[in-house]
Amino acid sequence: MATYKLLLLPGDGIGPEVMAEVKRLLGFYAGSGIADFETEEGLVGGACYDAHKVSITDETMAKAHAADAVIFGAVGGPKWDKVPYEARPEAGLLRLRKDLGLFANIRPAICYPALAESSSLKREAVEGLDIVILRELTGGVYFGEPKTITDLGNGQKRAVDTQVYDTYEIERIARIGFELARKRRNKVTSMEKRNVMKTGVLWHDVVDDVHAREYKDVQLEHMLADSGGMQLVRWPKQFDVIVTDNLFGDMLSDIAAMLTGSLGMLPSASLGEIDAKTKRRKAMYEPVHGSAPDIAGKGMANPIAMLASFGMALRYSFNMGKEADQLDAAIAATLAKGLRTADIKSDGARIVSTAEMGEAIVGELQKLAA
Ligand code: NAD
């Protein structure tokens, strides 16, 4: 049985509540002999500030570097609104992303048939939707220099942001896109604005080159990002993997998120370079939602985003695609039975707690894996 090293960082608010359901799942995998996950746990965010006056410690960072994958809950909350800026809860998350070099953010948008009614689009447009937005996370206009506001002295100011990409940054994100597509429906759509931006021209050409050199077996199409946004709400099922830069990815992934209904349903993965020693990519898996202080401690949180994030770890860090598919099927079966946490409630559904939802999903998984 393979053994993998996980660092669990539950964080604040509902973070520990949804992480408890990951631990239940790990117990199932170990008990059924599927995989043995060696886990360590650390503090991050406000919980870490309370104990150590920083949002993540160097010891925890060292554990994150040594782990095969980091599983992250959520951080933040009103309790820490006044802590020094460098020690604010989100700083721990940003340090993990930066120090682990997590340049590729993967956000799937999956619409379970049982939840098609909670989408803002018509059922036929979203039912069975399963696409991935791949966003470049460490470059582009959010980080490019110069980044300034200058007083022009005539009552006017000038603000400058710089959109900048080097070939290697586009190559490595494109490769991840093509590799993802190979494990899915084998299609990549690259989005940029080459009609008005030089970075768009380079992005287009580099993606084309990587495709021609290394991934000819994958279908590649190019789309202008504005037109891509329009297509995403017109007929999202035409896509498989969308690869795009930091700015467009920020917007397009939020649009795609809303196609699927609730924040409590959305997983994500962030990947870095392949580690020379372990041959695995640095990776962190986390739900898209935050610490939800309004419902924390009430047992109401939806654990599906967290569990599906762990499913992404199975798929992308541990090459356990079959187990990841089974986990997705167990989530779909639980929803199809009418079990709902409060955030996704619908007429006739049975409202369950975080733990009941986790237990039901693991129960379905037991049946599927038998
Ligand atoms: P949020 O995602 O925490 O909550 C937004 C709304 O969605 C709330 O009404 C909440 O109850 C609901 N919600 C979120 N996740 C849910 C789940 N799993 N099940 C059921 N309902 C869920 O966003 P917010 O309220 O803007 O932020 C709260 C705190 O979280 C802030 O301190 C913010 O900075 C932080 N935050 C952290 C992350 C992160 O850790 N990655 C991301 C976003 C926000």
Catalytic residue among 226, 294, 337, 367: 226
Listed in sequence order, the DSSP H helices in the chain are: 15-31, 46-52, 58-66, 89-99, 123-126, 167-182, 198-214, 225-234, 246-259, 304-316, 321-336, 354-369
98 catalytically annotated:
no
- For this structure, is 122 an active site residue? no
Tell me the sheet residues that pair with 222.
190
Q: What is d(CA 26, CA 309) in angstroms, rounded to the nearest whole number?
A: 13
Distance 289 CA to ligand 1 centre (A): 5
**Cβ–ligand 1 contact at 305 (below 6 Å):** yes
Region 93-106: what's the mean pLDDT?
Answer: 94
Spatial separation of the C-alpha atoms in residues 268 and 146, rounded to whole Å: 30
Active site residue 250: yes
Over residues 163-178, the pLDDT tens digits come to: 999 999 999 999 999 9
pLDDT exceeding 70 applies to what percent of the chain? 100
- The band of 15, judged by pLDDT with boundaries at 50, 70 and 90, is very high
> pLDDT of 271-302, one tens digit each?
999 888 878 889 999 999 999 999 999 999 99
77 lines ligand 1 (CB under 6 A): yes
- Ligand 1 in contact with 21 (CB < 6 A)? no
Tens digits of residue pLDDT in 310-346:
999 999 999 899 999 999 999 999 999 999 999 988 8
Average pLDDT, rounded, for the chain: 94
Ligand 1, atom 38, lies closest to the CA of 290
The token duo for 262 is: 């609730």
**Residue 318's pLDDT is what?**
93
The DSSP bridge partners found for residue 15 are none
pLDDT > 70? residue 10: yes
- Closest Cα to atom 4, ligand 1: which residue? 292
Q: What is the mean pLDDT of residues 297-308?
A: 97
Point out the catalytic residue in the list 12, 68, 193, 282. 193
- In this structure, the number of other CB atoms found within 10 A of the CB of residue 139 comes to 20
Across 110-114, 160-164, 258-262, 344-348, least confident range: 258-262
Determine if ligand 1 sits within 6 Å of the CB of residue 343.
Answer: yes
Residue 46 to residue 53: CA distance in whole angstroms: 9
301 close to ligand 1 (CB < 6 Angstrom): yes
Q: Give the model's confidence band at 54: pLDDT under 50 very low, under 70 low, under 90 confident, else very high.
A: very high
- pLDDT(32) > 70: yes
Q: Which pTM does this prediction carry?
A: 0.90
Secondary structure tally for the chain: helices H, strands E: 12, 14
pLDDT recorded at residue 1 = 66
C-alpha–C-alpha distance, residues 170 and 246, integer Å: 11
